[in-house]
Structure 1
Amino acid sequence: MFGAVSITKAVRRSGIDPALILIVMLAGAVRLPIAVLTVYHHPDEIWQYIEPAYGLVTGDWIRTWDIRLGIRSWLIPLMMLPPVWLGHAIDPAGEVHLLLPRLAMGLASLGTVWAAWVLGARIGRQHAIVAAFVAATWVDFAYFAVRPSSDSLAALCIIPGLALLVRFCDAGNRRDALLGGFLLGLGFIARFPLGPALAIPFLWAGRRDFRRAWVPLLLGAAGGVLADVIANALMGQWPLLWIYHNVFANVVANRSHAYGVETADWYVRVLAWQWQFAFVMILPALAFGARRYPVLLATAIAVIAVHSAIGHKEYRFILLAVLLIVLLAAIGSVDLVQWLVRNAQIAIPQRRFALLSMLWLALSVQIGAVQPFAINWNIGRAPLMAMRTVAAVPGLCGVATYRIRDVPFMSRAMLNRDVPVLLLDGQRSALRAEPRYNAVIAPIEHLGELPPAYRFAGCMSPRAPLFEQQYCVAVRKGTCSGPAGVFGYNRQLIAKDL
C-alpha cells in the first residue's frame, strides 16, 4: 500500500498524467500476447530481416533474390541483431531469438501511444485519453506494433515524429524539430515510398523560417538517412544504392508484379471491407479530427494516393495512413460527442467518454475477429510448426523441402539447427539426394512421390481440408551422408532466381 502511494506521489511530482501511465501499461498488456502468439504477418519479417540478423549471429542463412540483388537496406536487420543475438544466447536451440524482436518492436510501439496523447492533449484531457486509449487497443495499432517489418518500423517512427513536429510548431523548441526530423528521416529510410507523403508535414513544420525550423529539421532528417548509410557501410554496401536497385527491380523490371497487381481503387475497397459498419463512426469522427489536424489527413491521403499508383498492393503498405486515419477519428470522436450534446439534444450519459472508449474497443475487437482481418492471427503458424516438427526429429541430419509452392520456405532462423537444408522439385532429385536428408516437408498430395523409406509424421494444419495441407512432414530412419551439394537451398534459389 505504502509502495503504491509512493509511486503515485512520484508520478505526480514528475508532471506525467497518471492516466497516460495506465494507458501505456494497457498498451503493453495488449501487445504482449500478440507478440507471443503470432508468428509473422508477411514472410518478409523473417526472410528479409530476422534471417539476415540470424545469419550474422550464426554464419548461415537463406538468401532470397531480394538480398542477392541488393534491394534491401541492412539497417533493419542490424536493428534486429541485438534481440536476435540475445535470444540465441539465452536459448541456442529454441525460439527466443524469434520472439525477442517482436517484443522489442512492441516496446518501441509505445511511442505511438505517447504521440496520440500529445496530439490529443493540445485540445483537452478527454481528447488525450481517448486518442491514447485507441492507440493502445485498436487492432491495427496493436497487431502491427509487434511486427519486425519496414512498414511497422516506419509507422512507429513517423507517428511520434509528427507529434514532435506539432509540438515544435506550438512551442518552437528546436530539439523537437531535430528529433522529429530524425524520426521522419528514419521512417523514410524504413519505407522510402512514403517520401512524397512525408514531404507534407515536413514542409508544414518548416514553413518559411529557415533558421528556427529548417536547420534542425534538415539536420534531423539527415541523421536518419546517415543511420542507414552507416549500417550499409558496415556491411560493405554503397550508401543508398539499395534504393536504386529496389526501384529498378520493382518499377523497371516489374519483379513485384509477380506477387499480384491490383486496380487503383483497391485500398479504398479493402478499407471498406475491413472496417464495414465501423465506417458509420469513423467517417464523421474523421471529419471532426481533420479539422484539428488537416496536415495529418493530407499525409494519410498522400500515402494512399502514392501507393494506389503502384501496381503491386498490400494492406501493410498503407499502414501509416490507416493509423493516422484511426488516430484522427479517435480525436474527432470526442468533438463529435460534444457536438451531439450541444446541438442534437441527444441524451448521452455523464460517463460519455468512458463509453466512447468502450465503443472504440468493441469496434476494434469486432474488426479483429472477422474477415478479412481474422486471417492474420494464424499466418505463419503452419510453417513454424513444420520447422518445430523436423527440428525435434531424433538424429536429424538433413532437411529437405519437396515441391513446396511457397519459395523460399526454409528459414535457418526458424529451423535453428546446424544441418544441411535442401530444395527438391521432383522425384528424380528426391531419390538422388536421399542420403543427404532424413526429414522432408512436402504438400500432402506429393508425399507419395518420395522414396519409400520415408514415413508420414504429420501435417501442420489439422483443421484445414485435405487439399490445403501444404506442410506435411515425412521422416526416414538412419543417418545422412554427404553435404547438400547442388541441392543446397541457397544454390537452388540462385538457379531458379527465387
Structure 2
Amino acid sequence: MFGPMDMKMIKNSRLSVPFIVFIFIFSFLYRFAIPCFYPSALRADEIFQVLEPAHRQLTGHGVTTWEWQAGIRNWAFPDLIADVWRVTDALGLGHSPLWIQGILCVFSLGLVAVFMGLGRIAAGRTGLVACGLMGALWPDLVLGASRTATEMVGGNLLALGTIMGMIARMAQGSQPGLSLSRVAGHGITGLYTGSAFFIGCGAGLRFQLMPAAVLALVWMVWWCRRQLVRVVLLATGFALPVLVYGLVDLRTYGTLFGSVFRNVHANIGQNIAASYGTAPFYFYIIDLLGRWQVAFVLVMGFFIYGFRQFSMPAMVAVAVILSHSLIGHKEPSFIYGAIPLLLVVATAAFSQWVNQDPLLWSGRRVMLGLVMIPLLGFVQELSLIHIRNSNALIRLQQIAARQPDICGLAFPIRGEWSHVGGYSYFPHHDVPLYFAYDTASMAQLAGRYNYLITYGKTWSAPPEDKSVACLREFCLFRVESHCSAPPDYEQFGQVVRQYEAATHAGHD
C-alpha cells in the first residue's frame, strides 16, 4: 500500500498533457513573432555570413564579405538555406528570411522538449512546469531560436544534444532517486545516439564549440564504457555530421576541413580577429551580469547548487565559456551555447529545492509563480528594449522593397551598415543596394538609385524629395522617379570591404 508521501510523489510525477501542448504552441508563436514583428540582426553575421551567401547561391546577388573571399567559412549551412529557398520559390512564396527563421523556430522546440524532459525526471511535475516555462520564455532562448548566426544554431544543437545525454543517463536509473523505469534500454541507446549526433552537428557548424562538444562526448563514452554498442553508436553519431562539414570544405576548397585551417590561420596566425576589438578574460561574466542583473545572481546560485548532480551539462557550459574567454576578440553571442545549459541546470536544481518544501502541488505552483514570473518578466523587458532599438534599418528596407517603382536603394550611413538586411530582405525581386559612407562615394552613385535610407535629422533633402517613412533616427526618402545609370549589384559589398579595411587600419 502507498503512504501519503508516496501518493503525493506519484501525483507530482504525472504528466500534464494540456500544459505540454500549450508550452509547445506558445513557444513557437512567441519565437516566430520576434522576426515577424521585430525583424533585426542582433549580429551582422546572421545576414552577411549566412543569408547573403545563400541568397547569392540562389540568385547571383548577395554581399560577399572578406570571410567568404578568404575561404574561412563553411558552405554547408548557406547551401542548405539556398535549397530551402528554391523550394519556397517554386511554390510561389518567394525567398524571405522568414521561411528560414520559421523552420529554425520549429527545430528550437526540441530544446523546449528536453528542458521539460530533464525537469520531469529530476523533479516530477514541478520540474516539468518550471523547466518548461524557462525553456519557453527565457529571452536568450526566444531570441536565439530564430537567429541564423552559426553560434546560435550551433549552440542550440550542442545544448540539445548535451541535455539529451543527461536525460539518457538519468533514465538509466544509475543515480539514486532519478530513475525512469518505463524507458526501455533501446530507447536510452537512441537518446545517446541522437545526443551525439546533435552535438556533432553543433560542433561541425561552429568548430569553436569543439572543445565543449568533445568533453560532452567523452563524458557519455565514460558513462557507457561497459556497453560497446553504445560507445560505437556515440562515436558514429558524433563523427558523421562533423565529417559532412569536412567533405563540404573538400568540395569547395579542395582540402578536408579547409575552412577551419584557414580560419585559424587568419584569426590567430594573422590576428585579424583582434582588429575587431578585444576584451578581458572576465568579459562574459560581466556581460551576463549586465544583461540579466538580479536574475544572474539567482540563476548562478541555483546553477552552483545543481552543479554536482547535473555535472555533465554544467561542465559543458563552463567549457564553452572558458574556451571562448581565452580568445581576445569576444562577442556576447559566442557563448550562446552555454546559456541553455546554465538555465536548465539552475531550473532543475530550483525545482528539486521547491520539492523539498512540504507544500502540496497548489502551494508549489504559487511558489513557482512568485519566483519565475517576475524573473522572466524583468529579463524579457530588458531584451525587448534592445531588439526594438536595433531593427529600424531592416524595417525601413522592408518598406522600400514594397515600393513599386524602386530601382535602387542607397545607404549613406557609416558603421550602421551592419544592421541593414542585405539582398536577403528582397524576397521576390532583387534591387541593387549601394553603401556610401562619405561624400565621395555618395557622388559616384548618381543615377543608380531612387530611394535612400539615411539619418533623418541630418539629411538635407531637396524640395522634390519625399519622405516615405521614418523610424527612430533613420528615414526612407524617395529621391528620383527612376534610375538613369545601370545597376551595380557588387558595389555594396566592395565598399563595405573598403570601409572595414579603413576602420581596421585606423585601430592598428
Please confirm whether the aligned pair reaches a TM-score higher than 0.5, indicating the same fold. Answer: yes
Counterpart among 473, 479, 484 of residue 480 in structure 1: 484
> What is the CA distance between 1:119 and its match in structure 2?
1.7
Letter in 1 for 2:492: Y
CA distance in 2, matches of 1:360, 1:213: 38
> What is the CA distance between 1:410 and its match in structure 2?
6.4
Q: Name the CA shift for 1:26/1:393 in 2 (closer, same or farther; >3 Å).
A: closer
CA distance in 2, matches of 1:263, 1:476: 49
Q: Deviations over 1:30-69 (max 9, x none)?
A: 2232232222321211111111222222221111112111
CA distance in 1, matches of 2:439, 2:42: 33
The aligned residue for residue 352 of structure 1 is: 363
CA distance in 1, matches of 2:338, 2:444: 51
Structure 1 segment 180-329 matched on structure 2, within 5 A: 180-207=195-222, 208-209=225-226, 211-232=228-249, 235=252, 238-329=255-346
The aligned residue for residue 423 of structure 2 is: 412
Q: Name the CA shift for 1:165/1:446 in 2 (closer, same or farther; >3 Å).
A: same
The aligned residue for residue 4 of structure 1 is: none
The CA RMSD over aligned residues, in Å, is 3.0
Deviates more, 1:403-412 or 1:264-273: 403-412
Letter in 2 for 1:481: A
Is the 2:123–2:351 contact (alpha carbons within 8 Å) kept by the matching residues of 1? no
Q: Deviations over 1:354-374 (max 9, x none)?
A: 23443323311211213xx34
CA distance in 2, matches of 1:258, 1:26: 42
**Alignment partner of 1:457: what SS?**
strand
> What is the CA distance between 1:241 and its match in structure 2?
0.9
Letter in 2 for 1:282: V
CA distance in 1, matches of 2:491, 2:292: 45
Structure 1 segment 60-139 matched on structure 2, within 5 A: 60-89=61-90, 97-126=96-125, 127-139=127-139
CA distance in 2, matches of 1:57, 1:210: 46
Deviates more, 1:172-181 or 1:52-61: 172-181
Letter in 1 for 2:266: A
**Alignment partner of 2:424: what SS?**
helix
Is the 1:299–1:321 contact (alpha carbons within 8 Å) kept by the matching residues of 2? yes
**Alignment partner of 2:477: what SS?**
strand
Q: Does 1:436 align with 2:448?
A: yes
Letter in 2 for 1:80: I
- Unaligned 5+ segments in structure 2 are 1-13, 173-184, 502-508
> What is the CA distance between 1:120 and its match in structure 2?
2.2
CA distance in 2, matches of 1:287, 1:248: 37
CA distance in 1, matches of 2:385, 2:266: 30
The aligned residue for residue 5 of structure 1 is: none
> What is the CA distance between 1:330 and its match in structure 2?
0.9
**Alignment partner of 2:67: what SS?**
helix
Letter in 1 for 2:73: R
Is the 1:457–1:473 contact (alpha carbons within 8 Å) kept by the matching residues of 2? yes
Deviates more, 1:148-157 or 1:398-407: 398-407
Counterpart among 390, 406, 413 of residue 396 in structure 1: 406
Counterpart among 350, 364, 367 of residue 379 in structure 2: 367
- Unaligned 5+ segments in structure 1 are 1-14, 343-347, 463-468
**Alignment partner of 2:452: what SS?**
strand
- When normalised by structure 2's length, the TM-score is 0.82
The percentage of counterpart residues that share the same residue type is: 22
> What is the CA distance between 1:17 and its match in structure 2?
6.0
CA distance in 2, matches of 1:196, 1:326: 20
**Alignment partner of 1:434: what SS?**
coil
Is the 1:284–1:336 contact (alpha carbons within 8 Å) kept by the matching residues of 2? no
CA distance in 1, matches of 2:494, 2:295: 49
Q: Deviations over 1:328-350 (max 9, x none)?
A: 111111122233x26xxxxx564
Number of equivalenced pairs: 465
The aligned residue for residue 7 of structure 2 is: none
CA distance in 2, matches of 1:141, 1:352: 28
Letter in 2 for 1:430: M
> What is the CA distance between 1:110 and its match in structure 2?
0.6
CA distance in 2, matches of 1:474, 1:188: 46
- When normalised by structure 1's length, the TM-score is 0.84
CA distance in 1, matches of 2:439, 2:305: 63
